[in-house]
Amino acid sequence: MKKIKILAASFLMFGSVSGFGQKIIEHKVGTGDTITSIARKYNVSASDIYRLNPDAIQGVKIDAIIKVPSATTQTSVKKHIVSNKDTVYSIARQYDVKPAEIELANKEVLKDVLKPGMVLVIPSKGVTIPTVSSSNIISSPARITNIYHTVSPKETKFGIAKQYGLTIEELENLNTEIKGNDNVEIGVVLRLTDSVPSYGSITSKDYVIQPQETLYSLSKKAGLTEEEFLKMNPILRDGVLSGITIKMPNNLVRLDKPISNLSENLNKKFTKNLVLLLPFNTDKIGLKKEVTIQDQLKNDRFLNMTLDFYAGALVAIDSAKKLGLPIKVQVLDSKENKASSDINSLYAKGSFDKSDAIIGPFFQNHVETLAEKLASQQTPIISPMSNEKGKAINNLYQSMPSSEDVKKKMIDYIYASNGNIIAIIDPKKGSSKKYITESFPTVKMVSMLETGLVNTTQLKQVLEKNRTNFVILDTESINLVVNTTKALTSNSNEYPIQLVTLDKNETLESDEISLDDLMKLKLLYPSVTRDTNEIAQSSFVKSYKAYNGIAPNKFATRGFDITFDTILRLFNQDGFKTAVENLASEQIENKFNYINVDGAYYNKGVYLMYYDLDLTVKEVN
């Protein structure tokens, strides 16, 4: 109880800070009053009241004085009481803020491991956040900051309603699907307040169901599972009727769409026209009289990359025809380099007029030029090779994940794992150090010695025994890699350690670096390709070898993956754009998970790979 009183005092202190313009109303509890009914009366959320009155978790008594924030001047500061399964990442997702913002607002608290009962400040954009002392911990985790409750065994409607200060009628009105049922099924998620128009931390908007829309198509459009969508719109349990107004998520972007088999749900009735716009630059072949055409073809790396990509695309086209898809393909030479291309000439000739989709060009500036020219026709332009984020053009599909998205995939994983984050950054990597300290405000930076090697004494001091130590290493120095991996390996029996890079670090592939050490440290890295041994056994590799007499390289495999994926989406029953928005896919080496950002589509399909002790590279599950 002593800690609860301290917590209450700290809540009241924050509530009275003049910088937030907080005005407190005192409400005397009357007969039939609950926290929810009081919240409704004053047009505030129940959680706002609980923040000012933490003792109200146990219920309210008649004549008790409840402090209520003014609806027009209530504080921008929210607080969250940590539960058993919470991580910084999951809490950030719940409140739609960045994990880094959570850490910045709770630096003192998060010096320790995240613990149940710990109180975290939830920041809002543009607001200076007061910090919370690590002494603000209550004896057991409370669930009052959640707006949903998952039913556990032996729980009843009466018990749940009482726990959250609701009447049974109020609980049933918030969850119409449990009306008329004496018992509540285990695992059902119940809504606890109507003070926010949202599902979880997802703000919602009204949406009118259109003719021929189904529960499946609506849930896909929402980015939710069918069950999640039904919980948001219980009226649909009785059927989907056009003209009904329902709730649609307003700010949800589901990055982890499940992998779908694009070979299903195909419409083979109508022919589709695909253009491959590739930089063969045939006008330049044979211009150098002192070099034979054969030698020019052999030594031109850019042309060889193009030819490999094209060879892989041809296998994809053949595979599509074997599925019975009536695809017509036109191959055009973009005649491009970084500075120029033949796009304007091809456009003027009407070369793209009948195209249903175009793969290419290779350079980002030329891709954007073509997308802008064909934006009014909404012709999908698939950028095959550029990892630049580029302009937001609504018919542009960036198939190569950006370097920023690759790093973010790893950062999200580390946050979700709630590990101890340590960074060893080469002094030459100033921009990398800045990126990491901004991404991980609580990161523990390990310094370098004058010799350019890691400070092993400091390294051991920051390791922890009770959670995974993710050690981020960024350097191109082989000596520093060797020194660091040896130091980490020597401590790996005492501490749980995993070596991490935020991109594919080619330095780690040097023969001077012990593969055994990388295996012991389970080197973890993000990749746009699935680097497993299974690829060599795929039907694509066998077909490619049969056509070309050699195994495909990464450019040939990418040519296959992008072309085959694009063709399957073109023939999807619901159309190309719907298939892009709703379905993620996986081909031979590449994952395609397009997300709409500011009107354009970016592939967020990134793999997390690690070195395993059996001398193989595996994907993180």
Selected residue with higher pLDDT from 64 and 384: 384
Tell me, yes or no, whether 142 lies in a domain.
Answer: no
Can you tell me the distance from the alpha carbon of 335 to that of 278, in angstroms, rounded to the nearest whole number? 8
Query: Do 496 and 560 have their domain in common?
Result: no
Q: Which of 105, 122, 139 is the C-terminal boundary of a domain?
A: 122
In tens, the pLDDT along 239-252 reads: 888 888 888 876 55
The structural domain count of the chain equals 4
Q: Which of 251, 275, 264, 252 is nearest to 327 (CA)?
A: 275
Confidence of residue 4 (pLDDT cuts 50, 70, 90): very low
pLDDT tier at 174 (50, 70, 90 boundaries)? Answer: confident
CATH code, 442: 3.40.640.10
Which of these three, 510, 527, 544, is where a domain ends?
Answer: 527
Which of 58-67, 157-166, 450-459 has the highest average model confidence (pLDDT)? 450-459
Within its chain, how far is the Cα of 171 from the centroid? 33
* Residue 136 confidence (pLDDT): 34
Same domain assignment for residues 307 and 228: no
Helix (H, G, I), strand (E, B) or coil at 189: strand
Q: Tell me which residue range forms the domain holding 438.
A: 404-527
> What pLDDT score was predicted for residue 597?
79
The answer to whether 563 and 552 are in contact (CB under 8 A) is no
Q: Are residues 523 and 409 in the same domain?
A: yes
Report the alpha-carbon distance of residue 310 to residue 327 in Å, rounded: 16
Q: What is the mean pLDDT of residues 575-602?
A: 91
What value does the mean pLDDT of the chain take?
A: 80
Residues 423 and 358 in one domain: no
CATH of the domain at 54: 3.10.350.10
**Residue 502: inside a domain, yes or no?**
yes
Which alpha helices (DSSP H) does 190-300 contain, by range?
A: 215-222, 226-232, 293-299
pLDDT of 515 higher than 80: yes
- Sheet (strand 198-199) strand order: 198-199, 202-208, 245-249
Q: What is the pLDDT of residues 525-568, one digit of tens each?
A: 999 999 887 777 789 999 999 989 999 999 999 999 999 999 99
**Boundary residue ending a domain (480, 495, 527):** 527
Cα(46)–Cα(195) distance, integer angstroms:
7
**DSSP single-letter state for residue 415:** H
Residues 291 and 340 in one domain: yes
- Are residues 428 and 349 both part of a single domain? no
Q: Is the pLDDT of residue 188 over 60?
A: yes
Return the bridge partners of 259, or none: 584
Q: Are 299 and 293 in contact (CB under 8 A)?
A: no
In this prediction the pTM is 0.63
Band of residue 206 on the pLDDT scale cut at 50, 70, 90: confident
- Examine residue 543 and state whether it is found in any structural domain, yes or no: yes
Please state whether 403 falls in left (phi above 0), alpha (psi between -120 and 50) or beta: alpha
Within a 10 A sphere around the Cβ of 584, how many other Cβ atoms? Answer: 21
Helices within 24-167 (DSSP H only) = 35-42, 46-52, 88-95, 99-105, 157-163
Task: Confirm whether 44 is domain-assigned.
Answer: yes
Q: Do residues 429 and 543 share a domain?
A: no
Looking at the domain assignment, is residue 127 inside a domain?
Answer: no
Domain membership flag for residue 507? yes
Confirm whether 136 is domain-assigned.
no
Pairing of strands 594-597, 600-603: antiparallel
Please tell me the predicted confidence (pLDDT) of residue 138: 33
CATH number, domain at 291?
A: 3.40.50.2300
Question: In this structure, are 364 and 442 located in the same domain?
Answer: no
How would you classify the pairing of strands 617-619 and 381-383?
Answer: unpaired
Whether residues 516 and 548 fall in one domain: no
Checking 370-375 for CB contacts under 8 A at 24+ apart, the result is 370/277, 370/343, 371/395, 371/396, 373/343, 373/347
Which residue, 142, 109, 190, 126, is CA-closest to 442?
109
413 plus 380 within the same structural domain? no
pLDDT value for 290: 60
The reply to whether 128 falls in a domain is no
Check whether residue 334 and residue 313 sit in a common domain: yes
The pLDDT tens digits of the residues spanning 212-232 come to 777 777 876 776 667 778 878
Query: Is 395 in the same domain as 411?
Result: no
Residue type at 456?
T
